[in-house]
Structure 1
Amino acid sequence: MSHETVTNWTRRDDALVEDAIRRGATRRDLLRLLMASGIGIAAGGTIVGRATRAFADTPKSGGSITAAGWSSSTADTLDPAKASLSTDYVRCCAFYNRLTFLDEGGTVQMELAESIETTDAKTWKVTLRPGVVFHDGKKLTTDDVIFSLARHKDESVGSKVNAMAKQMAEFKKVDDRVMEIELSAPNADLPIILALHHFMILADGTKDFTTANGTGAFKCDVFEPGVRSVGVKNENYWKDKLPYLDSFEFIAISDEPARVNALLSGDIALAATVNPRSIRRLETIDGVQLSKTTSGNYTDLNVRLDMDPGDKAGFVEGMKYLINREVIQRSVMRDLAVIANDQPVSPNDRYHNKELKAREYDPEKAKSLFQKAGLFGTSIPIVASEAAGSSIDMATVVQQAGQEIGMPFDVQRVPSDGYWSNYWLKAPVHFGNINPRPTPDILFSLLYASDAPWNESHYKSEKFDKMLVEARGSLDEAKRKSIYDEMQVMIANEAGTIIPVWISNVDALSSKLKGLRPNPLGGMMGYAFAEHVWLAS
């Protein structure tokens, strides 16, 4: 048989081989089939290998999984406006949809919106997809979108994106599928902002969040805050062929070794955010694979500027010189991290300020600054928890550096349960963990503006606030880059947030679980894994 004939076979009938595999044909059966058609053993082996790989990579429907995140609490919510933990985001992505979403490359794609258009970055026309229905059968209209977006502006709701939503000055319904969003000032990032997990679309008038009535790939079957969530396949989902799973359960196992052991024992199919210490072990085990994403996630040490000791001039700067970033990168993160410079815009972002260098480790300079603050020799509590990934190890690095210069730090390890509600944003010196955000405007609006809901160090600067608004409305990319560069310098020098490294998030999963890909919004496929993964046969 000629090479051309073999090539024609492979182009025409690979699907027949894949179908035979689905029906249970063995490798010997397949080779007999090919040899009967005049194809030799060597060529037949190549065809069978390719078809087997293709079959393994073909999404399959059916099956159920349990996946485990690292943190949850009794404050878990099904209200997207109040979502603040990975477990909240996973549920939101499963039960609801957004107007837009970000693909693997960070490009904006349409979701519930069929199109979003503007000519001036201030007035935006939104056209919805036709035929989308909520889980209760209600048809999606612009009334639902207007309700969902407007409630973020209501102070009584307590939305985590209230500061960003305030720029949406007016909503105008044109008809059931077309509406306009009028911004208070131009913002070219609006389609990206609408891809954030908080901007999920609810049914008009929704008040009950004991369950979820969304348009998402799964219907909420069980929601037990701090315990577990179960989603079952939405048979009327508007996305063709999705989801593949019949159901999924999501739980939290705060202890990382326990989370890894649950994966190895087969109790879960996905273990989110694996500690670098576990990676070498997992890399040697058959049936387990790792998914790595480096997209701007970080654990930061926060010193509140409005409380003792952060209100003492020199203390925060001293802490920034006492952070041994190389040790954290090498020993704590096992090189699964990139050295950071105390501001949140990662090197993957086109607006990252490459000229802003990280402070060198200089314990003697730190000692001098602690003396200036009148705090040298005073024991300083540092609150850390497994809830903020690797924070306990980071705190230990700081503690050891302090011991070398005679500056005592009291590392207070607290439970994961309740950490985000009881310690984060509240303790004078504590750790946070920030998931990736796709634009500097979102990062600054959430974390550093004077009215930012997650202003971890209570940083306030009128100049910074004005620059934020100016950059947001500029259509001049060079000017925008220049403003963002200066804002990053301001954060690194003035804010009380210390960001030593950007962390490579590593999720561990069963090799039978397919379809998980990196996403700029974080691990677990930007927390939207449930809709896209499938189980191999």
Structure 2
Amino acid sequence: MTHKTPTNWTDRDDAMVEQAIRRGASRRELLKMLMGSGVALGAGSSLLLRAGQAVAQTPKTGGDLRAAGWSASTADTLDPAKASLSTDYTRCCAFYNRLTFLDEAGEVQMELADTVESSDAKTWQITLKPDVTFHDGKTLTSADVVYSLRRHLDESVGSQVNSIAKQMTEITAVDDRTVKIVLTEANADLPTILSLHHFMIVADGTTDFSTANGTGAFVCETFEPGVRSLGVRNENYFKAEGPYVDTFEYFAITDNNARVNAVLSGDIHLAAAINPRSMRMLEGQPGVVTSVTNSGNYTNLNIRLDMDPGQKAGFIEGMKYLMNREAVQQSILRGLAEIGNDQPVSSSNRYHNPNLPAKEFDPERARALFEQAGVLGQSVPIVTSSAANSAIDMAVVVQQAGQQIGMPFEVQRVPADGYWSNYWLKSPIHFGNINPRPTPDILFSLLYQSDAPWNESRYQSEKFDRMLVEARGSLDEEKRTQIYWEMQEMVANDAGTIIPAFLSGVDAHADSLKGLRPNPLGGQMGYAFAEYVWLES
């Protein structure tokens, strides 16, 4: 496998420098590391200064943290297996823990697990940390891990990661602190998979999720689905540091401008996922700063292959040529995005295929394809909602391009409340919004495998399914990379998902909120910020 030399220093690299400083690396060692990554000496010195200042920040204890996400519904859940929205992920991160987690640099670290080991990537042994307790006082044991993982295999549970968990054919307790997992095929990504939000550990036998009994940094005091949640600091938390705030209140403000105004007025400390169009509202405002995360989040236009007009040959290809990606990137997202090429593996991922170009904006070519499909001139509905970031604006861009070639699109705006249960995955043409995932295997298993739970366009390919299993089990990095490159090409050309851009996540927060860092699992520090941030008076 070949590695690309970075041409731009990123937040991920900032985090790597900070970690090196914390490990005690000398200035000479740090400058050598920077120069080896293509950073000039002068720029490297300023980067070291910035990283040093970040390390020097001392967390303070106390205060009541209030934050607002952008999505909520009465289907909000404290069941990690069923979590599907960022709102769910944020609460689960506060109340539960995973066996592993991804740090700012995208490296796997241990959380509830002390070690995760395998000699063949097929049979794994997990040793748990000792003396970890649930909020009700129960001690964490291997029985809790076995129960939590097996729930994903129970079809009646409705786990969102059932297709990923199916590879675990044996999940058994060796002793009170040791779990054995046997996979159908070798998968070197298992430690990363276990860091996903859905794989939070719950107590053995838990069936009632009206509250949360986890091992997490906060104890759940209040949970009102679609309204709010309130957690108080876990005084018996097993980690040496954190959490720092006394309480964590989380709710949703679905209207973007209202969310921005809430942080500007000081009603909340953090407003998640700010629309790029609102950046001007924040510019020059005292006491408020922004945190930008580039981690692979995207809003996509989904066209179902099993319904009209997606069934008609040429229609989906025409839609891909009609998507004005530069207009989406520059006009809608204000440059806070990277052009997408209709497959879900972003350039921040080491398996990204750099040789796969995005479809160019070509209305006349789109017109010919619509004519071939027999739909030119027919009114075609596109379902959109503010529930998916910038989806309404993207729908209007498509509509305007269609008007130029005599292809009328009816933009149907539906409420954010209920969008994910009533329209997503169901409407013939609709928008989705996918949170970052750390590996191609997870993205493809969730979204493109023939029986994937979130197969947004109903893409079906036996060859793709076989390649997914082959790549998953390969310990040959070069071979694995080539397989993933070909799979990205298959999705871009054959699936009915149009991914015009990878969005940079922007969270606005009070400058008194400290410790917030980018994370490869998404904004709000991979949705786990409550545990790590602190408030300065």
Q: How big is the shift at 1:57?
A: 2.2
Give the distance between the partners of 1:375 and 1:129, measured in 2 at CA: 60
Report the Cα distance in structure 2 between the residues aligned to 1:179 and 1:393, rounded to whole angstroms: 48
The correspondence of residues 255-294 of structure 1 with structure 2, limited to 5 A, is 255-294=255-294
How much has 1:58 moved relative to structure 2? 1.0
- Conservation of the 8 A alpha-carbon contact between 1:385 and 1:416: yes
Q: Deviations over 1:418-473 (max 9, x none)?
A: 11111110111000000100000000000000010100001010000000000000
Q: What is the rounded CA distance, in whole Å, between the counterparts of 1:357 and 1:261 in structure 2?
A: 39
Superposed, which structure 2 residues align to 1:7-46 within 5 Å?
none
Match of 1:433 in 2: 433
State yes or no: 1:481 paired with 2:481. Answer: yes
Aligned to 1:528: 528
Matched residue SS, 2:175: coil
**Per the alignment, do residues 54 and 205 of structure 1 end up closer, same or farther by CA in structure 2, a change over 3 Å counting?**
closer
- Mark the CA change 1:203 to 1:54 in structure 2 (over 3 Å): closer, same or farther: closer
One-letter identity of the residue aligned with 2:74 = T
The Cα offsets for residues 97-118 of structure 1, whole Å up to 9 and x where unpaired, read as 0000000010000000000000
What is the aligned partner in structure 1 of residue 245 from structure 2? 245
Q: CA shift at 1:178, angstroms?
A: 1.0
What is the aligned partner in structure 1 of residue 104 from structure 2? 104
Equivalent residue of 2:317, what SS? helix
Cross-structure match for 2:65: 65
- Aligned-partner Cα distance in 2 for 1:339–1:92: 31
Q: Which residue of 2 aligns with 1:235?
A: 235
Q: Deviations over 1:239-261 (max 9, x none)?
A: 11310010011010111001001
- The TM-score, its normalising length taken from structure 2, stands at 0.90
* C-alpha distance 154-55 of structure 1, shift in aligned 2 (>3 A): closer
Aligned to 2:7: none
CA distance in structure 1 between the aligned counterparts of 2:97 and 2:252, rounded to whole angstroms: 23
Q: Give the secondary-structure state (helix, strand or coil) at the position aligned to 2:367.
A: helix
Secondary structure of 1:174 counterpart: strand
1:209-256 Cα distance to aligned partner (Å, 9 max, x none): 000000000011110000001111110000113100100110101110
Instruction: Quickly say closer, same or farther: Cα 1:55–1:374, change in 2 above 3 A.
Output: closer
Q: Which residue of 2 is the match for residue 36 of structure 1?
A: none
Q: What residue identity is the alignment partner of 1:363?
A: P
- The range that moved more, 466-475 or 165-174, is 165-174
Unaligned runs of 5+ in 2: 1-49
Cα deviation for residue 66 of structure 1 reads 1.1
Partners of 2:119 and 2:354 in 1: CA distance: 32
1:378 is aligned to 2:364: no
- The equivalent of 2:415 in structure 1 is 415
Counterpart of 2:221 in 1: which secondary structure?
A: strand
**What residue in structure 2 maps to residue 358 of structure 1?**
358
Q: Secondary structure at the match of 2:152?
A: helix
Aligned residue number for residue 146 of structure 2: 146
Letter in 2 for 1:246: D
Cα distance in structure 1, aligned partners of 2:460 and 2:420:
22
Alignment CA distance shift 1:263-1:467 (3 Å): same
Alignment of 1:456-495 (within 5 A): 456-495=456-495
Q: Any idea what SS the aligned residue of 2:133 has?
A: coil
The equivalent of 1:388 in structure 2 is 388
Instruction: Tell whether the 8 Å contact from 1:514 to 1:536 is kept in structure 2 after alignment.
Output: yes
Q: Which amino acid aligns with 1:348?
A: S
- Mapped to 2, the partners of 1:386 and 1:261 lie a distance apart of 17
Note the alpha carbon deviations across 1:99-145, whole angstroms, 9 max, x for none: 00000010000000000000000000100000000000000000000
Corresponding residue of 1:176: 176
Residue aligning to 1:308: 308
Counterpart position of 1:216: 216
Q: Deviations over 1:159-208 (max 9, x none)?
A: 00000000000012111001210111100000000000000000000000
| Displacement of 1:56 | 8.6
Q: Report deviation, 1:279.
A: 1.1
Q: Which amino acid aligns with 1:382?
A: I
Asked if 2 retains the 8 angstrom alpha-carbon contact of 1:174 and 1:180, the reply is yes
The residue number in structure 2 matching 1:226 is: 226
**What code does the residue aligned with 1:93 have?**
C
Distance 1:326 1:520 in 2: 25
Q: State how far apart, in whole Å, the 1-side matches of 2:65 and 2:172 are.
A: 42
* 1:388-411 deviations in Å (ceiling 9; x for gaps): 000000001000000001100011
* Residues 112 and 129 in structure 1, CA contact (< 8 A), matched pair in contact too: yes
Q: 1:475 to 1:279 in 2, by over 3 A?
A: same
| Equivalent residue, structure 2, for 1:122 | 122
Amino acid at match of 1:104: E
Partner amino acid, structure 1, of 2:211: T
Aligned-partner Cα distance in 1 for 2:58–2:179: 38
Q: What is the Cα deviation at residue 54 of structure 1?
A: 8.5
Indicate conservation of the 8 Å contact 1:56/1:536, yes or no: no
Unaligned residue ranges in structure 1 (runs of 5+): 1-49
- 1:497 and 2:502 equivalent? no
The 2-side partners of 1:272 and 1:501 are apart by 19
CA distance in 1, matches of 2:241, 2:187: 35
How big is each residue's C-alpha offset from its partner over 1:13-41, in whole Å with a ceiling of 9 and x where there is no partner?
xxxxxxxxxxxxxxxxxxxxxxxxxxxxx
Cα distance between partner residues in 1 of 2:320 and 2:452 = 23
Q: What percentage of residue pairs aligned between the two structures are identical?
A: 72
Residue identity in the other structure for 2:469: V
Residues 516 and 524 in structure 1, CA contact (< 8 A), matched pair in contact too: yes
Any idea what SS the aligned residue of 1:421 has?
Answer: helix
Partner amino acid for 2:283?
E
| TM-score (norm: length of structure 1) | 0.90
What amino acid does structure 2 have at the position aligned with 1:94? A
Aligned partner letter, 2:486: E
Coordinate RMSD, CA, aligned? 1.4
CA distance in 2, matches of 1:400, 1:493: 24
2:325 alignment counterpart: 325
In the TM superposition, what is the alpha-carbon distance from 1:55 to its structure 2 partner? 11
| Secondary structure, aligned partner of 1:135 | coil
Once residues 185 and 466 of structure 1 are traced to their aligned partners in structure 2, the CA distance between those partners, rounded to angstroms, is 12
Deviation for aligned residue 1:284 = 1.0
Read off the aligned partner of 1:119 and give its amino acid letter. Answer: S
SS in 1 for 2:395: helix
| Residues 174 and 294 of structure 1: CA distance in aligned 2, closer, same or farther (over 3 Å) | same
Q: Write out the 4+ residue segments of structure 1 that deviate beyond 2 Å after TM superposition.
A: 53-57
Q: Secondary structure at the match of 1:289?
A: strand
| Partners of 2:245 and 2:304 in 1: CA distance | 44
Q: Which of the two has higher C-alpha Rg?
A: 1
Q: 1:178 to 1:264 in 2, by over 3 A?
A: same
Contact between 1:60 and 1:535, CA under 8 Å: does it hold in 2? yes
- Give the deviation of 1:65 after TM superposition: 1.7
Give the number of aligned pairs: 488
Structure 1 residues 245 and 349, CA gap change in structure 2 (3 angstroms) = same
CA separation of 1:124/1:378 partners in 2, compared to 1, >3 Å: closer, same or farther?
Answer: same
